Amino acid sequence: MAKFKTHYDNLNVSRNAPVSVIKAAYKVLCQNYHPDKYTGRPEEALRIMKIINVAYTVLSDSGKRAEHDRWIDRQEREHATDKAQRIMTIITNTYVEPPVTPRKNLSVSYLATVYEFWKKVCSVGNKVRLISIPRSKKLNLILGSIGFVGIVFTAIILYGPDLKTKTVATASVNQDIEAILKKAKHTLNKGQVAKALSFYLQLAEQGNAEAQFQAGLIYANGQGQAKDDKQAVGWLAKAAEQGHREAQTKLGFMYATGRGVAQNYSSAVYWCYKAAEQGDVIAQYNLGLMYAKGQGVAKDNSLAVSWYSKAAGQGDAHAQYNLGDMYANGVGVTKDSKQAAVLYRKAAKQGLAEAIAALKPLDR
């Protein structure tokens, strides 16, 4: 990855994002960093808003965006060239190792042992050659491999304990987190929602995205307690900002329906796009729906077809039915009754009533 920032980075969108998503991202960031709403210093809000406005000005203009893409390509090539040159300089120059305290000194006896082991390997190899076996690359490779394995094996004996010590702390923490998540899930499955929520909140407050998502779901669904959409949105947003795919989808739904937050289709599009890019089938379907209806984005049937197709390809019955409708009526795609029937049947096999009804006139 190149170590330079682009306007795509400033708007937090991918390089292939359509204009509608760029616009949605811009609106979301404007809402977050508006000086009247931003919780930080006003001058910081103004600085960020300036960056956001410049980025949007460039990316919303096809000509300026194309020029920016060309600039990115040049930067990536230059960075790659610079990196290659740095590597070649290191390789070609004589490298003098700086004096450092070794993690573990190699004793004279260790080196002597390795040397003696190597001499024996070579001696055996020479004897084997004398017994009328011709020298070959294959034999040299085998003998070299035996020697290398011997050295590595000796090193592992000496250094293995130190390597294990370095990883044991991290492994222990991860195991603790996994254990708590497993316990929370088991408790939730038993219907002990309040207890499960306490486990999830324990990790959520430490920044664990999965725990934040699960806590958000419990608050959103009102499982075993009163619904709290504001709490749900709060935890879902924290997980979504960490890239949690399902949290992004659910947060997009909350914005689209105005649950726990003011209804905002631009924000819904933004979060659904983030999840859809990661392959979330529900987000892909929801994006298709919003493009088909023009919610939060300009109505675009071709993009609706594109996102419905992705979700339909993953087996989503509603996406298959809606895509079938678009083929049946020639909306956003060339009219194709046969393809419509194929899609209707796929959805009907999953028991979708609308698809079953749509098939009846086609089967006559």
Tens digit of each residue's pLDDT (9 = 90 or more) over 143-166: 555 555 555 455 555 555 654 555
Of the pLDDT bands very low, low, confident and very high (cuts 50, 70, 90), residue 100 is: very low
The structural domains of the chain, ordered by start, are 7-92 (1.10.287.110), 108-173 (no CATH), 191-278 (1.25.40.10), 301-364 (1.25.40.10)
Calpha distance 361→256 (Å, rounded): 34
Check residues 362 and 268 and name the one with the higher pLDDT.
Answer: 268
The string of DSSP codes covering 109-173 is HHHHHHHHHHHHHHHHHHHHHHTTPPP-HHHHHHHHHHHHHHHHHHHHHHHHHHHHHHHHHHHHH
Of the pLDDT bands very low, low, confident and very high (cuts 50, 70, 90), residue 102 is: very low
pLDDT exceeds 70 at position 68: yes
The mean pLDDT of 285-302, rounded to a whole number, is 93
Residue 346 carries which DSSP code? Answer: H
Calpha distance 173→167 (Å, rounded): 10
Q: Are 327 and 339 in contact (CB under 8 A)?
A: yes
The mean pLDDT of 326-333, rounded to a whole number, is 95
Start-end of H helices in the chain: 7-11, 19-33, 42-59, 62-92, 108-130, 137-189, 193-204, 209-221, 229-241, 245-257, 265-277, 281-293, 301-313, 317-329, 337-349, 353-362
pLDDT over 70 percentage in the chain: 73
Q: Are 326 and 305 in contact (CB under 8 A)?
A: yes
pLDDT exceeds 80 at position 181: yes
Q: Are 57 and 64 in contact (CB under 8 A)?
A: yes
Give the predicted TM-score (pTM) of the model: 0.66
In 3D, which of 315, 363, 364 has the Cα closest to residue 343? 315
Residue 106 confidence (pLDDT): 46
Burial of residue 169 (CB within 10 Å: 0-12, 13-18, 19+) is: exposed
Dump pLDDT digits (tens) for 36-46: 777 778 888 88
3-class DSSP assignment, residue 96: coil
Residues 6 or more apart from 102 whose CB is under 8 A from it? Answer: none
Q: Are 229 and 254 in contact (CB under 8 A)?
A: yes
Q: How many other CB atoms sit within 10 Å of the CB of residue 242? A: 15
Q: How many other CB atoms sit within 10 Å of the CB of residue 164? A: 10
pLDDT exceeds 90 at position 127: no
CA 237 centroid distance within chain? 16
Burial of residue 157 (CB within 10 Å: 0-12, 13-18, 19+) is: exposed
The mean pLDDT of 97-110, rounded to a whole number, is 48
Check residues 200 and 116 and name the one with the higher pLDDT.
Answer: 200
Out of 59-73, 83-97, 196-210, least confident range: 83-97
CA distance readout (Å), 222 to 205, 212, 246, 262: 20, 15, 18, 20
pLDDT exceeds 90 at position 312: yes
Residue 158 confidence (pLDDT): 53
CA 36 centroid distance within chain? 32
Q: Are 325 and 335 in contact (CB under 8 A)?
A: no
In 3D, which of 277, 290, 288 has the Cα closest to residue 320? 288
The mean pLDDT of 207-231, rounded to a whole number, is 90
In 3D, which of 342, 127, 202 has the Cα closest to residue 135? 127
Task: Report residue 158 as tokens.
Answer: 């000496």
pLDDT exceeds 50 at position 71: yes
Q: Are 54 and 297 in contact (CB under 8 A)?
A: no
How does the average pLDDT of the chain come out, rounded?
81
Of the pLDDT bands very low, low, confident and very high (cuts 50, 70, 90), residue 217 is: very high
pLDDT exceeds 70 at position 108: no
